[in-house]
Chain A
Amino acid sequence: MNKKSPLLQRDGVLTIISSVLCVILGLIVGFLAVLIIKPAGALNAIRAIILNFFEFKRANLRLENFGSTLAKTAPLIMCSLSVLFAYKVGLFNIGVAGQYALGAGMSIYAAAILHLPWYVCLLLGIIVGGVSGALCGVLKAYCNVNVVISGIMLNWISLYGVNVLLLPAKDAAGKDTVRLLQQAKDSVLPTLGLDKLFADNKYVGLAIPLAILMAILIWVLLEKTKMGYELKATGNNPNAAKYCGMKENRNIILTMFLAGGLASMGGALFYLTDLEQWNVYASAVPAMGFNGIAAAFLGGLSPIGCIFSSYFITHITAGALHLNTTMYFAQVADFITAVIIYLCGFVLFFKTLIRNRMRKQEERFTPKERDEVKAAEVKQEGGKQA
């Protein structure tokens, strides 16, 4: 169907339009919020959020900050891929935050205490998160436990578990774990010379190309392989998939294992750059996980779209740190992100709206074709029940 329809009616184009619409509306609501808080600085505030490092005068500083923003984007890409992958199979992986924490915790432990080389740290991190995800899958497959609830419970269990695990790795002076660059240099991800491109920002390195590579791999897996087809079929209609001889339970567990592994890989990739350290007294699950959900839906549930949406969310979050703190505070960015994800719930609605508008204008569909479009929409909607 897609090939025949004009440019504006293609699904991909519609998705991009809807996502951009979400972003614009979100920014407008954010602007209204800062306007209400303090009208005087509102324009500057929203400018600071949108521009982020572009505001800096010195080119070097701009580059360095661009590098840091990219380094924070990499884990978000992984988290959004995790959400997206599970969602395509009809499962809502709200446990990303916990899996991310596990990946971070395990890799920091392997690095700071066991002093293992970076690839072993990364691998251990991935496996732990994968197992946690698989546990969710097993509970869903054999005990019919709602993945959303088990995911949330595992989030809290993982958070407290990681805090206990990393207590020995705590820096004596503060609440955070030790700096890996000082204590375990071999465990830090290699920079591959990328740091030179970003004004010697030593946190820029392997994580970014690896995250983009994973996005491409996930796209290939979902769209071009038999396994991806089977997984999506299980998500769209479990009974039909079963009838065709696909193993439903195995597919659910496999999906959650991979989704968990993706999220925890994000955690490992981020903390192994040593850009930030884990706070062993953290009392809230990492925001990265929930932002991953936002990024996945804002990216129109496409792996490639996720790269851009992840960058955007990191960009405005980092931008909010430059806000004038006598007037505003960094949570404004969280607020904007939250509004955007709320609006993302309407993406389907926006799409149908645009499509209907155009159909009314053109009215050149035969009734049969219209039924086909309708059927496709129903199929899309039907696949989204976790």
Chain B
Amino acid sequence: MITLLNYTLAFAAILLLVALGGCVSEHSGVINLGLEGIMVIGALGGALVMKFMPNAGGFGLFLCVMLASIVFGVIYSSLLAVACINLKADQTIVGTALNMLGTALATVIVKSMNLSSSGGANTSSVVKYENKQAFFSNLGSFELNWFMVVALVMLAVVFVLLYKTKFGLRLRACGEHPQAAASVGINVFKMRWAGVLLSGLLGGLGGITYITTGVSEWKFEEGVFGFGFLSLAVMIFGAWDPVKIGGAAILFGFFRALGRVYNGIDFLKSLNIPPALYSMLPYIVCLIVLAFTSKNSKAPKAEGIPYDKGMR
């Protein structure tokens, strides 16, 4: 049972971080469908640090890894910002392109690095992550992943940022009615850039959390199995509200965790459900949940529409 809790919270941490990223971006008026790609690139940043600092350990390494993931995520998300905010490109296409590009770029980088070192057997995984054990603390039989704490802190930060600061109010105004925001002197372009870059930051963190959680060896060409999109579903289910998103993340994390640990739970094992069904479970639950919650959408009004000064 404790493993179930462990995995639930671990997956919830990933979903929460990425969903918060999506939430900030959408509140500024940009739909960030490229979160999946941002996760991969963010994870790449963290993984590279782990590879090149094999002897470092503990808190210092943790900070460096986080920083690298954040930097990679932010830089990568600026590709979305340039295209969608300044050049007014279609946000859906660019987001999809970023997802494809993220996996392809990471695979190309990693494979070309491994090419010189590994000779013939060329895989697309970076490190064996022996040193990722540094990010876990054991509380009894519960394995605390430090990123769970990060996710929780981020939840508080995003909540305060969005609802208790001037910046947050302005950001949300740009997602609801950018022309009105502009009329009182807010720079909509800057605000949207801020929203997208913040989502890059959170997405990058989510990416590194993904590869340090329960995956022994992660191949970059596999991407993140739709976690970026699951996170968007978490965000919709959480009605674009950070606190509700936290609850939604735990729910989805639970169903994802079930697929991992059902073998260890006697009751579930006795049901004899084919393993593939457990793999499908989070996605099926997501569809059902969305079907019931999307009707009265609380989405920011102007999301997905490029800002045009001349429009009313």
Chains A and B are bound partners: yes
Chain A residues close to B by CB (< 8 Å)? 33, 36-38, 92, 94, 139, 143-146, 148-150, 152-157, 160-161, 163-164, 283-284, 290, 293-294, 297, 325, 327, 329, 331-332, 334-335, 337-339, 341-342, 344-346, 348-349, 381, 384-386
Contacts of A139 in B (CB 8 A): 287, 290-291
Task: Give 27 CB contacts A-B under 8 Å.
Answer: A38-B115, A92-B92, A139-B287, A139-B290, A145-B287, A146-B290, A149-B233, A150-B290, A153-B286, A157-B284, A160-B280, A283-B222, A284-B222, A294-B97, A334-B100, A334-B104, A334-B107, A335-B105, A335-B107, A337-B100, A338-B101, A339-B101, A342-B98, A344-B97, A345-B93, A346-B83, A348-B90
List 5 A-B pairs, minimum CB-CB distance, nearest first.
A345-B89, A342-B97, A338-B101, A338-B100, A335-B104
Q: Mark B69-112, 1 if CB is under 8 A from A, else 0.
A: 00000000001000100011110111011111101110110011
Q: A293 vs B94: C-alpha distance in the bound complex, in angstroms? A: 11
A345 to B284, CA, bound (A): 31
Q: Given A154-B287, A157-B280, A332-B108 in contact, is the A164-B274 Cβ separation under 8 Å? A: yes
| Minimum CB distance partner of A296 in chain B | B93
Residues A160 and B279 in contact, CB atoms below 8 Å apart: yes
User: A345 to B94, Cβ gap below 8 A?
Assistant: yes
B93 x A33 contact (CB < 8 A): no
Could you tell me if A344 and B93 are in contact, using CB atoms closer than 8 angstroms?
yes
Given contact pairs A338-B100, A342-B98, A33 touches B108 in the complex (Cβ within 8 A): yes
Q: Do A145 and B90 touch across chains, with their CB atoms under 8 A apart?
A: no
Contact with A along B262-273 (1 / 0, CB 8 A): 000000000000
Q: Which of B277-297 contact A (CB under 8 A)?
A: 277, 279-280, 283-284, 286-287, 290-292, 294-295, 297
- Taking A294-B100, A297-B93, A386-B92 as contacts, is the C-beta distance between A346 and B108 under 8 angstroms? no
What is the distance, in angstroms, from A240's C-beta to the closest C-beta of chain B?
17
Residues of B within 8 A of A (CB): 33, 79, 83, 87-90, 92-94, 96-101, 103-105, 107-108, 111-112, 115, 122, 124, 221-223, 225-226, 229, 232-233, 236, 274, 276-277, 279-280, 283-284, 286-287, 290-292, 294-295, 297, 304-306
**B233 and A341 contact, CB distance less than 8 A:** no
Q: How far is the CA of A293 from the CA of B99 in the complex (A)?
A: 12
Residues of B within 8 A of A146 (CB): 236, 290, 294
Asked if B104 contacts A338 (CB within 8 A), the reply is yes
Closest-CB distance, B120 to chain A (whole angstroms): 8
- Find A384's partner among B90, B96, B283, B286 (CB 8 Å cutoff): B90
Q: Does A341 lie within 8 Å of B305, measured CB to CB?
A: no
CA distance in complex: A322, B98 (Å): 26
CB-based contact A349/B96 at 8 Å: no
Q: Is the interface of A mostly helix, strand, loop or mixed?
A: helix
Asked if A156 contacts B90 (CB within 8 A), the reply is: no
Residues on B with beta carbons closer than 8 Å to the beta carbon of A337: 100, 104
Contacts of B229 in A (CB 8 A): 148-149, 152-153
Given A37-B108, A293-B96, A345-B90, residue A156 in contact with residue B226 (CB < 8 A): yes
Within the complex, the shortest CB–CB distance from B154 to chain A, in Å, comes to 22
Interface centre among B108, B222, B225, B292 (most CB of A within 10 A): B108
Residues of chain B within 8 A (CB-CB) of A290 are: 96, 99-100
Inter-chain contact A143/B108, CB cutoff 8 Å? no
Question: Which B residues lie within 8 Å of A283 (CB)?
Answer: 222, 225
Query: Using Cβ atoms and an 8 Å threshold, which residues of chain A touch B290?
Result: 139, 143, 145-146, 149-150, 153
Q: State the Cβ distance, A32 to closest chain B Cβ, in Å.
A: 11
> Is A145 touching B115 in the complex (CB atoms < 8 A)?
no
In the complex, which residue of chain A has the Cβ closest to the Cβ of B107? A331
Note all chain B residues with C-beta closer than 8 A to A150: 287, 290
A contact residues around B83 at 8 Å (CB):
342, 345-346
* Residues of chain B with a CB closer than 8 A to A338's CB: 97, 100-101, 103-105
Give the residues in chain B near A346, CB-CB below 8 Å.
Answer: 83, 87, 89
> How far is it, in angstroms, between the C-alpha of A349 and the C-alpha of B99 when the chains are bound?
21
- 13 more CB-based (< 8 A) A-B contacts, given A143-B291, A346-B87, A386-B92: A38-B115, A143-B290, A148-B229, A154-B287, A156-B283, A335-B105, A337-B104, A338-B100, A338-B103, A342-B94, A345-B83, A349-B89, A385-B305
Known: A334-B100, A339-B101. A349 touches B87 (CB 8 A): yes
Contact between chains at A143 and B89 (CB < 8 Å):
no
Asked if B283 and A157 make an inter-chain contact with CB atoms under 8 angstroms apart, the answer reads: yes
Query: Pick the contact of B276 from A143, A149, A161, A385 — CB < 8 Å?
Result: A161
Q: Which residues of A contact B112 (CB under 8 A)?
A: 36-38, 329
B291→A149 contact, CB < 8 A: no
Residues in chain B near residue A345, CB distance under 8 A: 83, 87, 89-90, 93-94, 97
- Contact A144 to B294, CB < 8 A, known contacts A163-B276, A290-B100: yes
A38, B92: Cα distance in complex, Å: 34
Q: How far is the CA of A303 from the CA of B284 in the complex (A)?
A: 33
Task: Kindly list chain A residues whose C-beta atoms are within 8 Å of the C-beta of B33.
Answer: 148
Report the separation of the CA atoms of residues A334 and B102 in the bound assembly, to the nearest whole angstrom: 11
Q: Is the CB of A284 within 8 A of B283?
A: no
Q: How far is the CB of B24 from chain A (nearest CB, A)?
A: 18
A349 to chain B, nearest CB (A): 5
Chain B residues within an 8 Å CB radius of A334: 100, 103-104, 107
Q: Report whether A164 and B276 are in contact in the complex, using a CB–CB cutoff of 8 Å.
A: yes
Residue among B87, B100, B103 with max Cβ neighbours from chain A (10 Å): B100
Residue of B nearest to A283 (CB): B222
A155 to B284, alpha carbons, bound, how many Å?
Answer: 11
Give the distance in Å from the alpha carbon of A384 to the alpha carbon of B92 in the complex: 9
The residue of chain B having its C-beta at the shortest distance from the C-beta of A92 within the complex is B92
Q: How far is A153 from B111 in the complex, measured between Cα atoms in Å? A: 29
Instruction: Give every chain B residue within 8 A of A33 (Cβ-Cβ).
Output: 108
Docked Cα-Cα span, A384 to B87, in Å, equals 15
Q: Would you call B92 and A342 a contact (CB within 8 A)?
A: no
* Least CB separation from A353: chain B residue: B87
Closest B residue to A293 by beta carbon equals B96
Q: Nearest Cβ distance between residue B204 and chain A, in whole angstroms?
A: 19
| Bound form: Cα–Cα A386–B92 in Å | 8
Specify which of B79, B92, B295 is in contact with A148 (CB 8 Å cutoff): B92
A38, A143, A329: the one within 8 Å of B294 (CB)? A143
User: For residue B284, which residue of chain A has the nearest CB?
Assistant: A157
A103 to nearest B CB, angstroms? 19
Contact A349–B304 (Cβ < 8 Å): no
